[in-house]
Structure 1
């Protein structure tokens, strides 16, 4: 992949937006003549706009007018599953400085030498991952809000505070959070464009560091592990409760059989007199 855009000669600022449009985006068959990448699918829009579509439900747009943005998202709607209302997004300012050092300062713009397709893909990858992580963090935290009081009461009282149906519901929420998050966003994986452009490694590393992608992914993984362990613990509690009730039923049946046998013996002795 080679750079096709000329180096920008004057400083310029563009806004990049990463939007969560749904749970998944089906990009199969969306290739266009102006496609600049297949994974993720990225293409040009208008005079200087570019769009990247990530299969985990995120669209990254740079340099589009409001009308171009609305038109692009409306055409994409038929390809989205689990569509979401607007609100999950990440915005960044791209400052094109041909003579500057490519970096991302805390709270400041992302400085790049030019808006080539390759640099766009690097920036889009980082923005897509940070907004997807924010979505996953919220989903996992919702489950934690339910698990924490349950665990606290279990530790204090020594018995589950919920009925079996509520426990099963909590297990379902835990498994659903694990299913939604696990394997959806491979934060540790670098964008494919870096195989062809290793000189952009430093820009990507600075973006990963600025958005704390690895640290957030680590925290999210540990929370998922806790959720899975909690689901297993709840399953064990349900199994133990069921076994206890089964043992109690068996004991009651044995006692009833003994009582019946004693009654029969007493009736037999009474009849023999």
Structure 2
């Protein structure tokens, strides 16, 4: 309202200025009398009129400034919506969802909701524990929406870590991915900057959260693979230096095979984790194309594709190094066989020479 009232007052000031500037100083009949006045008298009359006009304009401006100052004191505080927290966890290579579903069937805190898709388990948190919901994916990740910190840790420790057989190839260094969200029925479901906007009606909160959860979960999973590759490269960074110095590579046959197997396991997780590839869109969106855009938006925000590109470049180097190790292993094995053959031939020649002499 302040933005409308102040321009109106300024327009009034302008109109008042025009009226004061165009006001005739005297009536038409007064011009005859002014002809007989001295120059000094006429100058005094003009000065008095100008001072009167300037005083009226100054009073009007003063009133505008007083109203503007009063409205400034009544300006409302800026709108800052309350945001909630969602967090994605990656704790294993894969999950056995059927075991968790059976385990939670008797839980009063975590309630398993009807299945939406076979590779996602939808869990509601009891309102007495703060409420919220979680989505557990078969690729070893789960995402909590609006769940209190103590409740998240309880679920992580009691339901994820301690459930026998649930985690396949568990990860010791758990990776997480955080985001903030707002629920607003006046806004369309979208992502603005760092905040996820959720409309509670179109589409439903559950479907919207699943779409964004897919992106958050994949980012957490990707963080695990990034850490694994960094550890692998750190453990082999001394090999090029030794080769440059012409020294022997201090790795046994068993250690070289373990390095190659570690790299193959990494490639498997990147391309075939829980039956899907990081480069592919999840099967969940084949029949729900309207939700696919939410998944792509959160993926772009988390730089998933650029991170995958960087990961592939590092992986190319690791593959080249693995090839060199395999060649070194093959050459070492061939050299061993050659020496064994030489020794056998030498022994055989020695025995023949002894037999021929004696």
| TM-score higher than 0.5 | yes
Aligned alpha-carbon RMSD (Å): 3.1
Say whether residues 1:227 and 2:318 are aligned partners: yes
Q: Which residue pairs with 2:343 in the alignment?
A: 252
Which structure has more relative contact order (CA 8 Å, sep 6+)? It is 1
SS where residue 174 of structure 1 aligns?
helix
Q: Partners in 2 of 1:147 and 1:46 — Cα distance? A: 48
In the alignment, structure 1 residue 63 sits paired with structure 2 residue 146 = yes
How has the CA–CA distance of structure 1 residues 163 and 87 changed in structure 2, closer, same or farther, with 3 Å as cutoff?
closer
- The residue that corresponds to 1:271 in the other structure is none
Unpaired runs of at least 5, structure 2:
1-79, 103-110
Deviations 1:2-57 (A, max 9, x none): xxxxxxxx954211011123333211262866336233222332355121101122
Q: Which has the larger radius of gyration?
A: 2
Distance 2:315 2:120 in 1: 26
How far did 1:88 drift?
Answer: 2.0
CA shift in 2, pair 1:33/1:202, >3 Å: closer
Paired position in structure 2 for 1:7: none
More helix by share: 2
> Kindly tell me: are residues 209 and 139 of structure 1, through their superposed partners in 2, closer, same or farther at Cα, counting changes over 3 Å?
same
Q: Mark the CA change 1:12 to 1:194 in structure 2 (over 3 Å): closer, same or farther.
A: farther
1:215 maps to 2:301: no
TM-superposed deviation, 1:64: 1.7
Q: Report the secondary structure of 1:188's partner residue.
A: coil
Residues matched between the structures, number: 256
Give CA-to-partner distance per residue, 1:228-261, whole Å, 9 cap, x none: 4433432332222121222122223323433444
Give the match for residue 177 of structure 1.
266
Q: Aligned runs of 1:25-174 on 2, under 5 Å?
A: 25-28=95-98, 30=101, 34-35=113-114, 37-38=116-117, 39-47=119-127, 49-73=132-156, 74-76=158-160, 77-78=162-163, 79-84=166-171, 87-97=174-184, 98-99=186-187, 102-105=190-193, 108-114=194-200, 116-157=205-246, 160-174=249-263
Residue 277 of structure 2 aligns to a residue whose secondary structure is coil
Conserved 8 A contact 1:36-1:44: no
C-alpha distance in structure 2 between counterparts of 1:61 and 1:229, whole Å: 40
Q: TM-score normalized by structure 1?
A: 0.77
SS of corresponding position for 1:248: helix
Which runs of no fewer than 5 residues in structure 1 stay unpaired?
1-9, 269-273
Please give the alpha-carbon distance, in whole angstroms, between the structure 1 residues aligned to 2:257 and 2:286: 46
Cα offset, 1:101, TM superposition? 7.0
Measure the CA separation in 2 of the matches of 1:34 and 1:263. Answer: 86
Between 1:125-134 and 1:213-222, the stretch displaced more is 213-222
Give the conservation status (yes or no) of the 8 Å contact 1:46–1:64.
Answer: no
